[in-house]
Amino acid sequence: MAETVEKIKLLKSSPDLSAATYQIHDESHTIGNSLRWMIMKNPKVEFCGYSVPHPSENVINIRIQMYDNASSVDALIDALSQLDKVCEAVEDSYLASLREGKFERWEERY
Amino acid sequence: MQGHDDGEPTVRIREVKKDRVNFVLGNVDLAFANSLRRVMMADIPTVAIDMVEIETNTSVLPDEFIAHRLGMVPLVSANCDEAIRYTRDCVCLAGCSFCSMILELKVSCHDDNTMDVTSDHLEVVPFPPDEESADPGEELSKRGEWFGHPVGKHDRNVPPVLITKIRKGQELKIRCIAKKGIAKEHAKFSPCSAVSFEYDPHNKLRHTTYWYETDIKGEWPLSENAKEEEAPRDDEPFNFNAKPNKFYFEVETDGSLGPQEVVMKGLAELQTKLANLILGLKIGGADQIDIMPDDVPVPHVPPPDNAWSGGDPNTWGMHAGSASGGSSSGWSQTSPTRGGAGSQWSNDASWGGATGTAGWASASSPQTNGWKQ
């Protein structure tokens, strides 16, 4: 590997970071759409959108604009940890359903 | 179907079979459900045959054809996270016991009848000691008994995968090297043979438009999942605030991983992606805030688990499965410029990968495997 690239970088922003565009490396719609949804759930966020600028470049751009000059980095970090919690909650409830065992079981699992 | 999602996400498992699990995911957003689907299909590592050296092939199929078919054979990949490394992360030069498996296919037909060559003829052989790396690693001890073996080889109830057929006097002598990878690199690494995903079976949200000749209901029968939701009345007005809330999944695997493992690994993989992002923000972010408006370069973050950097530049042998090229991209973006290479993303040298992924580019070195260009 000749050069390392940063996972996330700032493309453009206002001086106080209340409106910023981030570029995330090696991610796609998989993270982009979920993250956009989670960021939009934050009432302090005025606007959030994401795009895959070109299909053969594996990057996504995320634009966040905040109300009242709040920090978009905070919104981003909050959204990431909330998404993480969603994953955990789904995992827990999956395991709970598995333990409950109220489903059709066909062959013996290995 | 509610206008807002309330409360905790719910999961209800409806059916578990040896190779599939069917469940209903509720109280999450469409974006998240889709992320889970995408991650299960494309981001879970498995092992598959990646390089093929052909010593003898007198069968009717050409070498590339057989190499491609070998790449598609599912191999047992349980506990892939701990049991094997990516070759790009390994200390070795071109593959060692920590980052690859060797499988041999040595068959010849001496019978008057046509003989089927199947995945059952693939034998896992130990790494030759001279190619063994001295590097300490726990990988080998984490492997299950059948790790890297073709799926169903040790189960009489599972029919083997047919690779080719040979007649009397024909012979195959092939050495295959299996490596770890993810399906974004090549579809053969996907643990899922199918993931079905449905929401809103009555199409109340109008996310799709059905084409019909005379009678929409007669021509578009409802799916089984429609029983889970109330049918709309004929005069029901369209609720433009409604959001999908229940997602019907069926995850079907090819046997390389169990269905439960795929779901759990999928969620774990999503969390890893998020964790990598948070890490990237924490390392780069602090500086960004200080020196904001000017475009001062931010310190580099170590690239987390980079799946895009392509294969090993020193590849010899042909790329198993690369003949399919285009078929590897089951999802939205296909790069039209690189038909043959297994990796869609590999065409940017600045990402620090080997430029020609282990595709045809490197396979064309003359002394590779005895077949002439």
Tell whether B35 is covered by a domain.
Answer: no
**pLDDT (tens digit, 9 = 90+) per residue, A62-103?**
999 999 999 999 999 999 999 999 999 999 999 999 988 877
Structural domain that includes position A43: 8-100
Return the structure tokens found at A98: 């598995």
Contact between chains at A94 and B16 (C-beta distance less than 8 A) = no
Contact between chains at A31 and B274 (C-beta distance less than 8 A) = yes
Which residues are CB-neighbours of B4 under 8 A, at least 6 positions away?
Answer: B243
Structural domain that includes position B183: 46-189+308-363
Q: What is the CATH number of the domain that holds B88?
A: 2.170.120.12
Q: What is the CATH number of the domain that holds A42?
A: 3.30.1360.10
Handedness of CA B187, B188, B190, B194 (dihedral sign): positive
Q: Into how many domains does chain B fold? A: 1
Tell whether B254 is covered by a domain.
Answer: no
Tell whether B181 is covered by a domain.
Answer: yes
Tell whether A88 is covered by a domain.
Answer: yes
Tell whether B78 is covered by a domain.
Answer: yes
Q: Into how many domains does chain A fold? A: 1
Partners of B312 on chain A (C-beta within 8 Å) are: none
User: pLDDT (tens digit, 0 to 9) for every residue of chain B, 373 residues total?
Assistant: 444 446 889 999 999 998 999 999 999 999 999 999 999 999 999 999 999 999 999 999 999 999 999 999 999 999 998 899 999 888 888 888 889 999 999 999 999 999 999 999 999 998 887 655 566 677 788 888 899 999 989 888 889 999 999 999 999 999 999 999 999 999 999 999 999 999 999 999 999 999 999 999 899 999 999 999 999 988 899 999 999 999 999 999 999 999 999 999 999 999 999 999 999 888 765 555 443 434 434 444 444 444 343 334 343 445 555 544 333 333 433 333 333 333 334 333 333 333 333 333 333 333 334 343 3
Among A3, A6, A41, A74, the strongest candidate for a mutation testing the B interface, having the largest count of B CBs within 10 A, is A6
Integer Cα distance of B193 and B202 in angstroms: 26
Mean pLDDT of chain A, nearest integer: 89
Tell whether B200 is covered by a domain.
Answer: no
Partners of A54 on chain B (C-beta within 8 Å) are: none
Tell whether A107 is covered by a domain.
Answer: no
Residue A59, H or E segment: strand A59-66
Using a pLDDT cut of 90, give the percent of chain A over it: 75
pLDDT for residue B360: 38
Tell whether A62 is covered by a domain.
Answer: yes
Contact B9, A89 (CB under 8 A): yes
Tell whether B137 is covered by a domain.
Answer: yes
Q: Which residues of B38-54 are buried (b: 16+ CB within 10 A; e: fewer)?
A: bbbbbbbbbbbbbbbbb
Partners of A90 on chain B (C-beta within 8 Å) are: 9, 11, 25, 28, 36, 267
Tell whether B73 is covered by a domain.
Answer: yes
* Residue in B with minimal Cα distance to A72: B289
Partners of A25 on chain B (C-beta within 8 Å) are: 303
Average pLDDT, integer, range A46-57: 94
pLDDT for residue A100: 86
Using CB atoms and an 8 Å cut-off, which of residues 306-325 of chain B contact chain A?
306-309
> Which of B201, B203, B204 has its CA nearest to residue B228?
B201
Tell whether B319 is covered by a domain.
Answer: yes
Among A71, A86, A95, A105, the strongest candidate for a mutation testing the B interface, having the largest count of B CBs within 10 A, is A86
Contact between chains at A86 and B9 (C-beta distance less than 8 A) = yes
Return the structure tokens found at B106: 């040595």
Contact between chains at B332 and A29 (C-beta distance less than 8 A) = yes
* Residue in B with minimal Cα distance to A27: B273
The ipTM estimated for the assembled molecules is 0.90
Rounded to a whole number, what is the distance in Å from the CA of A47 to chain B's nearest CA? 17
